[in-house]
Amino acid sequence: MTLPNPLKPNPLKPSHTKPLLDQQFLEIRCKILDLAAQLDRLTRGGEMAAIESDPKWILIQKGIALLGTNRPAKAQGVQELFSLCYDPNWPKPSPRF
């Protein structure tokens, strides 16, 4: 069995996309509002200079920008953005017992 390529356009038919939006709209809206509130708390103090060059803040900004694109597989892009690059020399996990 082959897995679908996440970089290809969504295979949902247009007739399925609208009901999916209707079903998930409020949850998506809630998450956007929550993110906006968190960003407001970070920027409210007027000390943006303290975080503007912080790598974590830069990653957050890049992640938000990625969400605003028409790129397929946004979740994959965000995961890759916040992940470490693969290192073939990582130690292999060993059993705990």
* pLDDT tens sequence across 51-62: 899 999 999 999
Give domain status of residue 67, yes or no: yes
For 64, the domain range is: 52-82
Residue 70 belongs to some domain of the structure? yes
How far, in Å, are 20, 28, 90, 91, 92 from residue 87 at the CA level? 38, 34, 6, 9, 11
Average pLDDT score over residue span 80-97: 90
The answer to whether position 61 is within a domain reads: yes
In a domain, 38, yes or no: no
**Directed axis angle between helix 14-44 and helix 55-67, to 10°?**
150
Determine if the pTM surpasses 0.85: no
pLDDT of 3 higher than 70: no
pLDDT for 9 beyond 60? no
Q: How many domains does the chain have?
A: 1
Confidence class for position 83, pLDDT limits 50, 70, 90: very high
Kindly state whether residue 94 falls inside one of the protein's structural domains.
no
62: in domain: yes
Q: Which of 42, 72, 73 is nearest to 60 (CA)?
A: 42
> Is the Cβ–Cβ distance between 55 and 70 less than 8 Å?
no
Q: Name the pLDDT band for 4 (thresholds 50, 70, 90).
A: low
User: What local confidence, expressed as pLDDT, does residue 54 receive?
Assistant: 93
